[in-house]
């Protein structure tokens, strides 16, 4: 268990967050669907690796089958490496996530974000939901409670601070995520990091 993965739809701010927490600029110009090499993480401590997986969901000009393949690849990567992965950071766009989830909820449809959240739990990877772009959200409490509700976590969100981390990657406000991840490292006995 020496790896943290970052997953999320495209455009939620994963690259911005990677840059903020690792101090390294990541290649954002890669072709959709191409898995990036794992980037070394110097945020939680030495010998920890963060893997920034490709964004999935809607992307301008990317056909449906390619988008599906990207999501399948992300799921396969996590499944294949679940033994090594301690925490899975699911990055959401706090401004848009609830609307997107509601638009894609139906009798035959589970929204990607909700599916990924439950999938991480199923493979015993601790999920931490980084609710990004909070600088654009007016009623923060209401939004975070709605996100809890959509993920099947009983509100209020304050009960889930090791799981729900409101952040603004662009502003460099990522303390809540840092604390949530450290909580899981502590639980796993990785305080040395």
By beta-carbon proximity to ligand GDP, the closer residue of 33 and 193 is 33
**ω before 185 within 30° of 0 (cis)?**
no
By beta-carbon proximity to ligand GDP, the closer residue of 9 and 185 is 9
| Minimum distance from residue 130 beta carbon to ligand GDP (Å) | 10
Q: Alpha helices of 82-166 — where are they, by DSSP H?
A: 97-103, 112-122, 140-151
DSSP lists the bridge partners of residue 166 as 131
By beta-carbon proximity to ligand GDP, the closer residue of 118 and 136 is 136
CA distances from 150 to 45, 47, 94, 178 (A): 32, 35, 13, 23
By beta-carbon proximity to ligand GDP, the closer residue of 166 and 185 is 166
Token digits for 118? 């439950």
| Minimum distance from residue 13 beta carbon to ligand GDP (Å) | 3
> Which residue has the CB atom at the shortest distance from ligand GDP?
13
Other Cβ atoms within 10 Å of 63 Cβ, number: 9
Residues that bind ligand GDP (CB under 6 A): 8, 10-16, 28, 55, 132-133, 135-136, 168-170
| Minimum distance from residue 128 beta carbon to ligand GDP (Å) | 16
């Amino acid at each position: 268990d020496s790896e943290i993965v970052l997953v999320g739809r495209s455009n939620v701010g994963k690259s911005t967050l990677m840059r903020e927490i690792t101090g390294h600029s990541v290649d954002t110009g890669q072709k959709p669907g191409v898995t990036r090499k794992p980037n070394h993480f110097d945020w939680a401590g030495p010998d920890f690796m963060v893997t920034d997986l490709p964004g999935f969901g809607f992307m301008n000009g990317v056909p449906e089958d390619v988008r599906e393949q990207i999501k399948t690849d992300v799921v396969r990567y996590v499944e294949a490496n679940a033994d090594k992965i301690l925490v899975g950071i699911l990055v959401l766009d706090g401004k848009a996530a609830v609307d997107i989830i509601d638009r894609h909820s139906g009798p035959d449809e589970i929204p990607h974000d909700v599916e990924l959240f439950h999938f991480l739990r199923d493979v015993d990877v601790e999920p931490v939901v980084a609710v990004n772009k909070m600088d654009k959200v007016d009623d923060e409490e209401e939004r975070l409670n709605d996100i809890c509700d959509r993920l099947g976590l009983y509100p209020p969100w304050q009960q889930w601070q090791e799981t729900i981390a409101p952040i603004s990657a662009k502003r460099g406000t990522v303390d809540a995520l840092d604390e949530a991840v450290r909580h899981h490292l502590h639980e796993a006995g990785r305080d040395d990091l």
